[in-house]
Amino acid sequence: MTETTATATGINITAKALEHIRAAMEKEGISSAEGGLRLGVQGGGCSGLSYNIRFDTQPRERDRIFTYGDVRVFVDPKSFIYLNGMTVEWEETLMHRGFVFQNPNAKKSCGCGSSFS
């Protein structure tokens, strides 16, 4: 496992997104000492690939681990190829409330923002 802190390369998470991750982890009973947020990519969605975001109780053997204070983010090696340089933001508007993915690796994305190619 590789443990790093937030940098220009890797996964960037805004302060507002971290607030919501912390609150959700607490609500789900996920320990920040052992668990964290898992970001990944899976086949599917309207553009070919879709983001997968969920909580995990511990990292896997080959995960990259990014640390943002008391929040850890786990990314498997295959997903990291697609997510390297991505920024995760939190957005609250009249039409949308949730995480927004700003991914410089996406050549095209769908209208909902959860699928890309």
Q: How confident is the model at residue 13 (pLDDT cuts 50, 70, 90)?
A: very high
Q: Is 115 a member of any domain?
A: no
Between 44-48, 50-54, 56-60, 85-89, the lowest mean confidence (pLDDT) is in 44-48
Would 82 be classed as within a structural domain?
Answer: yes
CATH code: domain of residue 74: 2.60.300.12
Sequence-separated (6 or more) residues with CB below 8 Å from residue 3: 65, 66, 67
The mean per-residue pLDDT over the stretch 11-21 comes to 96
Strands 2-5 and 64-68, by their bridges, are parallel
Residue 11 belongs to some domain of the structure: yes
Containing domain of residue 9, as a range? 2-108
According to the model, what pLDDT value does residue 9 have? 66
How many distinct structural domains can be found in the chain? Answer: 1
pLDDT surpasses 80 at 2:
no
- How far from the centroid of its chain's Cα atoms is residue 20's Cα? 12
Q: Give me 61's structure tokens.
A: 């053997």
* Burial class, 50, CB count within 10 angstroms (exposed 0-12 / middle 13-18 / buried 19+): middle
Looking at the DSSP assignment, which residues form a beta bridge with residue 100? Answer: 89
Q: Does any domain span residue 15?
A: yes
